[in-house]
Chain A
């Protein structure tokens, strides 16, 4: 009696969420694996032809997909570096020996862009890096820097880096701040007494002790950059000539613009495997290097 009552409660508590979760995440995931072996244009009346692993084979020869992969890797690498450096500098500044009120104000301002969604940020910067830069260039004559960035293939990717950095740096800063604040003051004081300068304190004491924050931040920035979609869609739309089209946007276009549902799904599954491998590898790698506080 008691046992059956217990399992009834268990069912009542766990089942509703698990049911929703299954229908929204698990079922589409399994369906997606099926769709990836099929050629279909998305119209319900048209036949779905099973083509086996053909979709995956044609991935290798798809130039647009490969170039989007290269863009994504380039973008991710650049952005991880810029975000983490900027965020670390911000965090060191903000946790430095300054007035609490100034500190809080600075933190508030630097964090703000993260809350405004990627789509809106993309539109804001589309104006600044596009028309505003062009008109500044025309009035000041500095046309080597101030021109419409979004029309140049290389600079369009760079524009993505700038906007994403602007969005994420404040967020990553918060994580570094939390890390820096957990360093006990005695450790820093002891180092000062021993005559450690600013750089020695930074590299020999602070950095090893915030190794965990590094793991978290690298993990976060990498997965966020790799999966970037909103900023890509609103800022460059993949253009000019698909030169700034990232993975996620490429998949979206393949499915919903070119109507290659089966092939697009194969790409999406490849994307999932790539994301999973990257993140798992990184977690394993950085977990090894963490310094434990004794």
Chain B
């Protein structure tokens, strides 16, 4: 009986992709069947009100529009990619066509001129280093601020939150003056070093991370920690063995948000890092682009090089990225 009902609407034309995926499915579990039955019922209900064939045409139109939009949306990236292979005359003949020959000539030149591998290494190092410290220090701080309530904790938390409003441009000049002073007076190498840059990223990333952790820790019950304390665990042990693993969702959010921010940040490194060897990817792209604005094919090859790591990262961690970005924004 159930089978009959659920088979009947199957004859309605659907998209090709949908059909194929259904055929490939070997067995239908009861749960799936009920789910599909519900969906079919809804589809049937909708088709009564709006007319069967009209609905399917509507669906086809939706797919077509969606696909067109997506392709158009990524068209600029296609243009960058194809033009990075073309030679000069080919490039000015037609910008949208596919290249006649694939040569990696421009890539090799761009890699050399950008000192790409060193920039990639610096970017990775800065991003990883900053994030490790931001995650560790912010989660510790936020935990203490939640668990030891009092005037001090409240005011520290308020300071963290309030400073999220300050735009970087308000701080950049005095920050550079201060770091220069520290370098001269205390002999600590704060400017033009990767370590100094990481230090500054920890400071700038602290507010948001503490804010996110604070919100999450408030929702965790205390009982686990109390049990561990009775068992003789030190405060340090309680945090790292028990609390920190529970914080994983927030940690993922913090990591994702900070990777996007630090990897792409231009202004702060441009102010701190002056020597060529320390350049991160945005810096080397900017200086490379400044020199080769007329040689577009070379410039496009450079841009493709800088986009590739981002795309790899995106494809690997897509699920986490979308979840993390959504979670970070809503809070």
Asked if residues A99 and B76 are in contact (CB atoms below 8 Å), the reply is no
Q: Is B174 an interface residue (CB 8 A)?
A: yes
Complex Cα distance A268/B329, Å? 26
Asked if residues A96 and B62 are in contact (CB atoms below 8 Å), the reply is yes
Asked if residues B173 and A272 are in contact (CB atoms below 8 Å), the reply is no
Complex Cα distance A44/B202, Å? 28
Q: A14-B144, A17-B140, A255-B173 are in contact. Are A272 and B167 (CB under 8 A)?
A: yes
Q: A29-B171, A251-B169 are in contact. Are A178 and B148 (CB under 8 A)?
A: no
- Taking CB atoms, residues of chain B closer than 8 Å to A216 are 329-330
Which one, A28, A117, A132, A174, contacts B326 given CB within 8 A? A174
Residue of B62, B83, B264 most packed against chain A (CB within 10 A)? B264
Asked if residues A23 and B203 are in contact (CB atoms below 8 Å), the reply is yes
Which one, B173, B239, B310, contacts A115 given CB within 8 A? B310
Chain B, Cβ-Cβ closest to A272: B170
Asked if residues A32 and B169 are in contact (CB atoms below 8 Å), the reply is no
Asked if residues A13 and B141 are in contact (CB atoms below 8 Å), the reply is yes
Asked if residues B171 and A178 are in contact (CB atoms below 8 Å), the reply is no
Q: A14-B145, A119-B285 are in contact. Are A112 and B169 (CB under 8 A)?
A: no
- Taking CB atoms, residues of chain A closer than 8 Å to B77 are 112-113, 124
- Taking CB atoms, residues of chain A closer than 8 Å to B79 are 124, 127-128, 132
- Taking CB atoms, residues of chain A closer than 8 Å to B17 are 99, 101-102
Q: Is B165 an interface residue (CB 8 A)?
A: yes
- Taking CB atoms, residues of chain A closer than 8 Å to B206 are 17, 20-21, 25
- Taking CB atoms, residues of chain A closer than 8 Å to B172 are 252, 255, 268
Chain B, Cβ-Cβ closest to A125: B76
Q: Is A276 an interface residue (CB 8 A)?
A: yes
A101-120 at interface with B (beta carbon < 8 Å): 101-102, 105-120
A212-232 at interface with B (beta carbon < 8 Å): 213, 216, 220, 227, 229-230
A1-56 at interface with B (beta carbon < 8 Å): 6, 9-10, 12-14, 16-18, 20-21, 23-29, 31-32, 35
Asked if residues A106 and B325 are in contact (CB atoms below 8 Å), the reply is no
B69 nearest CB across to chain A (Å) = 8
Chain A, Cβ-Cβ closest to B145: A14
Asked if residues B306 and A136 are in contact (CB atoms below 8 Å), the reply is no
Chain A, Cβ-Cβ closest to B83: A127
Tally of contacts, chain A with chain B, CB under 8 A = 238
- Taking CB atoms, residues of chain A closer than 8 Å to B18 are 99
Asked if residues B137 and A17 are in contact (CB atoms below 8 Å), the reply is yes
Q: Is A269 an interface residue (CB 8 A)?
A: yes
Complex Cα distance A220/B163, Å? 16
Complex Cα distance A90/B170, Å? 35
Complex interface bits, B295-327 against A, C-beta within 8 A gives 1, otherwise 0: 010011001001100110110001001100110
Residues of B within 8 A of A (CB): 15, 17-18, 21, 42, 45-46, 59, 62-63, 65-67, 69-70, 73-74, 76-77, 79-80, 83, 92, 94-95, 137-138, 140-141, 143-145, 148, 156, 159-160, 163, 165-175, 177-178, 199-200, 202-204, 206-207, 210, 235-236, 239, 260, 263-267, 282, 285-286, 289, 296, 299-300, 303, 306-307, 310-311, 313-314, 318, 321-322, 325-326, 329-330
- Additional A-B contact list (6), CB under 8 Å, known A99-B15, A115-B321, A227-B168: A21-B206, A24-B202, A24-B204, A101-B17, A125-B76, A171-B329
Q: Shortest 10 CB-CB distances between A and B: which pairs?
A: A24-B203, A117-B264, A31-B174, A28-B174, A17-B137, A28-B175, A13-B144, A32-B174, A272-B170, A109-B70
- 16 residue pairs of the A-B complex, CB under 8 angstroms, read A12-B236, A16-B137, A17-B140, A21-B206, A28-B175, A28-B177, A98-B59, A98-B66, A102-B66, A110-B70, A119-B264, A119-B286, A123-B303, A272-B166, A272-B167, A272-B170
Residues of A within 8 A of B (CB): 6, 9-10, 12-14, 16-18, 20-21, 23-29, 31-32, 35, 90, 93-94, 96-99, 101-102, 105-120, 123-125, 127-128, 131-132, 135-136, 139, 166, 170-171, 174-175, 177-178, 189, 192, 213, 216, 220, 227, 229-230, 233-234, 247-248, 251-252, 255, 261, 264-265, 268-269, 271-272, 275-276, 279-280
